[in-house]
């Protein structure tokens, strides 16, 4: 009886032992699975984190690239503005230089050289040199405007070419000379003209509205128009 009980106890112990081993084995199998799942989860989380970091880095790089492009564009705009400003400045300077040169040229053209070209008759040329107040061999506009009376009577002058430069001239005396032509069209301020006893074949005084006295007899004139000389007071022509 006792032997049977012992056998039963051994059998029960064996069963329990076997069950324990099975449970232990099963538990051993389960734990590694959970560990693997946990490892996969961590790995997934790490991958997500890595992906997020990569995305963040990509965003940062994109932002940096955008800033670089913006900076480049700004630099290009500044360079273009600088070039435009330099171009404009150059154009302004060029225009100013051109204007200055034009003004200087205009000022220089007011100088009338006292030479054979402008005053071909040597006697008349020598006479007008007295009006060159600064003695530089040419007339400035001020010097020309200062002359209001010219008297070359009895000087045997053949030409009065150059008298047109004296635009402020009011009186011209050229009696008893050898003048064959006389141009007083530029002497619009002329009031008195004495040119008798010369060799004039024509005389035009239509551009001398201020003319008051005209003495032109003893010449070779065949006609004379004084219709524009509305203030003429004395006329001698024969």
Q: β-strands 112-113, 138-139: how paired? A: antiparallel
Locate the domains of the chain by residue range.
Answer: 1-109, 113-238
Taking a C-beta distance cutoff of 8 angstroms, is the pair 124, 160 a contact? Answer: yes
pLDDT tens track, the chain, 238 positions: 444 444 444 344 443 343 443 333 334 443 344 444 434 444 444 543 444 554 445 545 544 445 544 555 555 566 655 555 565 455 545 545 555 444 444 444 579 999 999 999 999 999 999 999 999 999 999 999 999 999 999 999 999 999 999 999 999 999 999 999 999 999 999 999 999 999 999 999 999 999 999 999 999 999 999 999 999 999 999 7
Is residue 97 within a helix (H) or strand (E), and if so which, with residue range? Answer: helix 2-109
Non-local CB neighbours of 166 within 8 Å, separated by 6+ positions: 144, 147, 150, 187
Instruction: Tell me if residue 130 falls in helix, strand or coil.
Output: helix
With the CA atoms of 16, 18, 19 and 21 taken in that order, what torsion angle do they form, in degrees rounded to the nearest 10? 120
Superfamily of domain 113-238: Ribonuclease Inhibitor (3.80.10.10)
Instruction: Tell me if residue 167 falls in helix, strand or coil.
Output: coil
Token digits of residue 200:
């004039």
């Amino acid at each position: 009886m006792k032997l049977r009980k012992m056998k039963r106890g051994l059998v029960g112990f064996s069963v329990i032992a076997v069950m324990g081993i099975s449970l232990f084995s099963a538990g051993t199998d389960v734990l590694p699975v959970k560990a693997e799942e946990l490892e996969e989860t961590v790995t997934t989380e790490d991958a997500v984190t890595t992906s997020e970091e990569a995305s963040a880095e990509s965003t940062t790089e994109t932002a940096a690239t955008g800033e670089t492009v913006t900076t480049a564009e700004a630099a290009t705009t500044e360079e273009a503005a600088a070039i435009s400003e330099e171009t404009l400045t150059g154009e302004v300077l060029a225009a100013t230089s051109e204007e200055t040169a034009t003004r200087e040229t205009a000022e220089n053209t007011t100088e009338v050289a006292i030479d054979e070209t402008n005053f071909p008759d040597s006697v008349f040329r020598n006479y007008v040199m007295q009006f060159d107040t600064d003695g530089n061999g040419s007339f400035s506009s001020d010097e020309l405007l200062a002359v209001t009376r010219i008297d070359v009577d009895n000087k045997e002058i053949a030409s009065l070419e150059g008298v047109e430069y004296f635009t402020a001239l009011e009186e011209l005396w050229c009696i008893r000379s050898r003048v064959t032509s006389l141009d007083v069209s530029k002497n619009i301020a002329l009031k008195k003209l004495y040119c008798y006893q010369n060799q004039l074949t024509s005389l035009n005084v239509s551009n001398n509205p201020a003319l008051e006295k005209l003495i032109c007899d003893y010449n070779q004139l065949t006609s004379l128009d004084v219709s524009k000389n509305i203030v003429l007071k004395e006329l001698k022509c024969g």
